[in-house]
Structure 1
């Protein structure tokens, strides 16, 4: 299920529609603008704090750049470190003036300054840095509502099912009353459409309507409805752990993320095992295997994902485990050296795949190249820092204790999302 778009009828503030005013060549300059002041009081330097291994600013910049609908992507800031991060993620930088860098400065003041200093811009797409679950398709569809459907202003909303009541000040003597509910007839959730609330992800508008009305919600207005899972807004530190888990599940990881992983490669030692070797009284070495993980391998195979197990000549116990598992599941077993990438490159090419089509799970520093290249990559919770930094997903579970199952579920979730997207695309094409 994809977001729904709706227009708000009427022409606010008496502003005439300016969406069809174009440059002589017929092309309007559409610019993305992310405001990232350095003086955040709630979370110091919040905009470049790492969220799931990526600077907060990086999540929305990646979505904006990869949407391919902007003539320019900008970050407005007053801070040197934020400027460095912005440029490293492909953005131009607008150094805002001290007048619009105060605690009391509004977003609108900063946007107006940007427009005044960049007169070539015709459509301003203000994207909030604190909305890390933004995807390119959100941006594409919302921008098209301005550039193709003729709206002057488009903003993001989310549907909420919450009953609201009037606040009563202490000792005021007032009685509270409901805003959107009759207590005698409380509707079931499935019988109530709920209400649309701004989720803060973005506010898009034409320069003409901004200059005429003094805001980005005027003229011929439309809203763009985002699903709740994408509606994440970080204001205070307590939001951070929740946002981190949400972005790992619903965030946009870049162009190299496969719509469907065709092959999953798993290091046996440290991923399928917990790294411990047990000795029997007879001197035999043994390792343990979690049935959740073996079930996960079968789930991947059932969905058409080939599974390859990696072993090392230096670890004969894991080799024996992988061989036995291969007999039970049909997995391919590959023995790799100190640089797994060297041994895996020929296999990926032989199967006529690219690394973006591969999901990789490793547990050591030697896995970092593969973790970086793979479209989807993960490490167990107890992996070393170098591997964690290289992976796109860090499991909550340790190696041998369900980490493979967790990563498999993540892979299958992406596959499910891709199917939903394709199904919605077919519906949209049929409707139009």
Structure 2
């Protein structure tokens, strides 16, 4: 930039219409404990390279969430809020109302695994290398065949020789737009283009390339975000609270009945795991759907709080989070085994199930322990939490040093 030349204003712009047909109010539906749009707003805000971060919407609820996560809000007109309205038309309308903006980074709300480091590199391509437009791609190793569904003719290979099918490691694959972001100058956008001029792509890591379009994409995206998502500045996903289902995690799920009272048993190994976390200043609590009597609870002699007769486990966990001053589910570890635990297993930043948990619980993105409920599964999960915490610490500080 020459002396006296004005620095060009670069804004992040997330388009979030309220009238999504595939998934109603998709942009603010909870994904892994946060509104979908919050994941990209946090990445845009924390990358530090944008002069402003905006959400263009026609919906009051989306506006409220956008403001909560640090974005400015542009209320788009009904003319660009139709099912037929294009992203380009909506961006052009935004620029008419914000002439101070010179470059737009259009970020898709449906790409929740976007990281600040990716955005920083793209901004560098724009500012330092002078590209007029940069868009995101992902590499696929897919064999394409010609479409003969209408003609009924003979199909032909389009990007490989069937007689010499390449091995994946011997083929670079092909680059496909993944729709995560499109950066372009206002001059290009005024010409009706999001790609043009001096143009470049940015290749995203496959694990960060996530797009949500229909309901079937949601559970896949939820698992991917919990594993590869960006959790904010500082050391992410540090567990402050562990909640376990007492029935089937601490115990083996069986009740021993005598003439006068019920009996339960648990492993002393699990008690060691609980106390190990408590020494590391992790709060440990239990929930039970059963209405356990106070005499039975006293007999168990657990060194932590137990809430019994619980019909809504999510509500109880969120009450505890509020009590402990925890702002998000990423700080919660949850261990469950039954169908009633599935919602909490999906929301928790770290989750685990005993070996003998129900199939639906096992299908969440969680650690499946080698041990069964009542047989050391909690100790195994506690050690996993502690190991994961130390690993994240090392990774975080290594990234800071680099």
- Shorter-chain TM-score bucket reads 0.7 to 0.9
Kindly indicate whether residue 161 of structure 2 is the aligned counterpart of residue 207 of structure 1.
no
On the 8 A contact 1:53/1:389 being kept in 2, the answer is: no
On the 8 A contact 2:274/2:284 being kept in 1, the answer is: no
Equivalent position to 1:393, from 340, 349, 367: 349
TM-superposed deviation, 1:26:
4.1
Instruction: Give me the TM-score of the superposition, normalised by structure 1.
Output: 0.69
The match for 1:65 is 45
TM-superposed deviation, 1:310:
4.4
The match for 2:230 is 252
Alignment of 1:9-408 (within 5 A): 24=4, 26-170=6-150, 172-211=151-190, 213-256=191-234, 258=235, 261=238, 266=242, 270=246, 273-274=250-251, 286-289=264-267, 310=284, 319=301, 365-370=319-324, 372=326, 376-381=331-336, 388=344, 392-393=348-349, 395=351, 397=353, 401=373, 402=377
On the 8 A contact 1:146/1:153 being kept in 2, the answer is: yes
C-alpha offsets along residues 98-150 of structure 1, whole Å, 9 cap, x if unaligned? 22112111100111111121111122010001111112122112112112222
Is the alpha carbon distance of 1:376 and 1:219 closer, same or farther for their aligned partners in structure 2, counting shifts above 3 Å?
same
On the 8 A contact 1:311/1:319 being kept in 2, the answer is: no
After the TM superposition, which of the residue ranges 178-187 and 77-86 deviates more from structure 2?
Answer: 77-86
Q: Which runs of 5+ in 1 are unaligned?
A: 1-19, 323-334, 339-361
Instruction: Give me the TM-score of the superposition, normalised by structure 2.
Output: 0.73
TM-superposed deviation, 1:64:
1.3
On the 8 A contact 1:363/1:380 being kept in 2, the answer is: no
On the 8 A contact 2:334/2:352 being kept in 1, the answer is: no
Q: Distance in 1 between matches of 2:139 and 2:268?
A: 40
On the 8 A contact 2:146/2:155 being kept in 1, the answer is: yes
Q: Distance in 1 between matches of 2:106 and 2:35?
A: 19
On the 8 A contact 1:377/1:393 being kept in 2, the answer is: yes
Local SS of the residue matching 1:395: strand
Q: Which runs of 5+ in 2 are unaligned?
A: 287-293, 308-315, 358-371
TM-superposed deviation, 1:37:
1.1
Give the RMSD, CA atoms, in angstroms. Answer: 4.3
Q: Distance in 1 between matches of 2:146 and 2:3?
A: 48
Local SS of the residue matching 1:111: helix
C-alpha offsets along residues 237-263 of structure 1, whole Å, 9 cap, x if unaligned? 11112112221222222235x2585x8
On the 8 A contact 1:159/1:197 being kept in 2, the answer is: yes
Q: Distance in 1 between matches of 2:109 and 2:80?
A: 17
Q: Distance in 2 between matches of 1:105 and 1:68?
A: 31
Q: Distance in 1 between matches of 2:143 and 2:281?
A: 48
Is the alpha carbon distance of 1:367 and 1:96 closer, same or farther for their aligned partners in structure 2, counting shifts above 3 Å?
closer
Q: Distance in 2 between matches of 1:391 and 1:124?
A: 33
Query: How many residues align structurally?
Result: 362
On the 8 A contact 1:364/1:384 being kept in 2, the answer is: no
Local SS of the residue matching 2:158: coil
Local SS of the residue matching 2:124: helix
